[in-house]
Amino acid sequence: MSAIITLSLLAILVLYLGLFKARRALLPVSLLGLVATVVLYGVQWGKTAEPLYSGMVLFDHFAVVFSVVCVILTILVLLLSKDYFDKSSPHVAEYYALLLFSLTGAVLVVSFHNLAMLFIGIEIMSVALYILAGIRKKDFASNEAALKYFLMGAYSTGFLLFGIALLYGASGSFDLAAIKEYVVSNPQGISPLFYAGILLLIVSLAFKLGAAPFHFWTPDVYDGSPILITIFMATVVKTAAIAGFLRLFYFCFIPLQDFWVPVLLVMTIITLFVGNLTAIVQQSVKRMLAYSSISHAGYLLFAIVAIGATSANSVLFYVTAYSLSTIIGFGSLILVKRATGSEHFEAFNGLAKKNPYLSLAIAIAMLSLAGIPLTAGFVGKFMMFSGVLADYQVLLVVLAVINAAMGIFYYFRVIVAMYFKPLDRDAIVVSGPYRVVFFLAALITLLLGVYPAWLTGLI
């Protein structure tokens, strides 16, 4: 709980710093606050967790680990934000504050123990992002992204609320423990309202996750938003969404598996194919990464299809691997776009000659996204696939392997452009924070690929 208070106060402090024109202090203060949050979570680790505030939040290992992942990803995003916002607008403090608010929402989403908290967490997370998507006021694409995200997001909130209301109508409580009690104690007499509620919750959570057929906003919003905000959406928000999804279903709905697993199974397969097939034909790297994030949402859903005790670990591993690589992918795109003004694959041509280290980091990220051995992405995919195989869903694994092969095709286009398409170009200047972020992300990706046990035993 102290972590959530720290985060909210930190955001308000940042707002005040903006008021007093202390622009140079913004980034250090935010980073310091985030590090303090991680430390506070670390202190909590290992203590027996109990639901706090009449069962509103529960900081068990699951919540703590995913919160720490969200906070660390935000630290990396904020490091990339140095020199990024200063050019576009004078309201930098507000941007930082909104990012921190959004992070607060994400942390609530992963640690809720009451559906009211889930709703408020998702809303805080999304409302801040609706605005952040549209901060380039003069840019038409950014306006479109903000409007689209807002309208679709508000609509999906309606589904979430209706679902929660139906669950409440059936079970008489918002509390996860009470809902679980209701499901376990009436194996025969579960109200039909409850099933409708589960379906509506699947709709709204799949929307937040960006899984097909509720993915239509993803490419336009990811493409139109400023790249830094896209990184935040593709990493922190996705982490929070899948963790909240898993938490709800793992806590409450396991006895009703026969009902919702087929639904999610179909959605997973559609998501994989939609994401990968459309990513293949893209010409812009930003759009390619947006579609690839849809397909990764599909891989993440594997853990819920084959829900069990190991699901949390595989989601944790997969989401960490995916987020680190995404940060490198989009982060390098910021640099390339700044240097060439283009987001197309051709903008990466000949990068390896002039920026060998940057190219190496991008290559590692792409290999990890594609799931090549010795990277974290491979271990993540391996854990997901083996979890599903243990559930005897052979067809799903076969389809997923086909999709992984498609993924290799489009991720390698970036690598081929960098290494095998020579072009005379100037070296891109990579500033200090970017170096740190790329180095850390690439290093962790490789280390986790070789020693996966560091992360797998946590939850």
Partner 1 sequence: MSVFYFVAFLSIFFALMTIFTKNPVHSVLYLVITFFTFTVHYILLNAQFLAVVNFIVYMGAIMVLFLFVLMLLNLNKDTEPLKSNLVKFMGVIAGMCLLVTLAASFRLLQISDPVVLKNPDIGLVSNLGKVLFSDFLLPFEISSILLLTAMVGAVLLAKNDPKKV
Residue among 74, 104, 225, 235 that touches partner 1 (CB under 8 A):
104
Confirm or reject binding of residue 90 to partner 1 (CB under 8 A): yes
By CB under 8 A, what part of segment 176-215 binds partner 1? 191-193, 195-196, 199
Confirm or reject binding of residue 262 to partner 1 (CB under 8 A): no
Confirm or reject binding of residue 137 to partner 1 (CB under 8 A): yes
Is the Cβ–Cβ distance between 123 and 105 less than 8 Å?
yes
Confirm or reject binding of residue 145 to partner 1 (CB under 8 A): no
Confirm or reject binding of residue 431 to partner 1 (CB under 8 A): no
Is the Cβ–Cβ distance between 329 and 368 less than 8 Å?
no
> Least distance to partner 1 from the beta carbon of 223, Å?
20
Confirm or reject binding of residue 128 to partner 1 (CB under 8 A): yes
The contact mask relative to partner 1 for 7-46 (x = CB under 8 A, - = no) is -x---x--x-------------------------------
Buried b / exposed e along 362-383 (16+ C-beta atoms within 10 A): bbbbbbbbbbbeebbbbbbbbb
SS3 content of the chain, % helix, strand, coil (to 5): 80, 0, 20
Taking CA 208 as the corner, what is the angle to CA 207 and CA 214, rounded to the nearest 5 degrees? 15
Confirm or reject binding of residue 53 to partner 1 (CB under 8 A): yes
Q: Could you give the CA distance from residue 305 to residue 78 in angstroms, rounded to a whole number?
A: 34
Confirm or reject binding of residue 134 to partner 1 (CB under 8 A): yes
Is the Cβ–Cβ distance between 24 and 83 less than 8 Å?
no
Is the Cβ–Cβ distance between 314 and 384 less than 8 Å?
yes
Q: Could you give the CA distance from residue 438 to residue 357 in angstroms, rounded to a whole number?
A: 9
Residue among 25, 36, 120, 399 that touches partner 1 (CB under 8 A):
120
Q: How many CB atoms sit inside 10 A of residue 184's CB?
A: 11
Residue among 116, 184, 266, 416 that touches partner 1 (CB under 8 A):
116
192/341 with CB nearer partner 1: 192
DSSP label at 113? Answer: S
| Residues near partner 1 (CB under 8 A) | 8, 12, 15, 52-54, 56-57, 89-91, 94, 97-98, 101-102, 104-105, 108, 114, 116-117, 120, 123-124, 127-128, 130-131, 134-135, 137, 166, 191-193, 195-196, 199
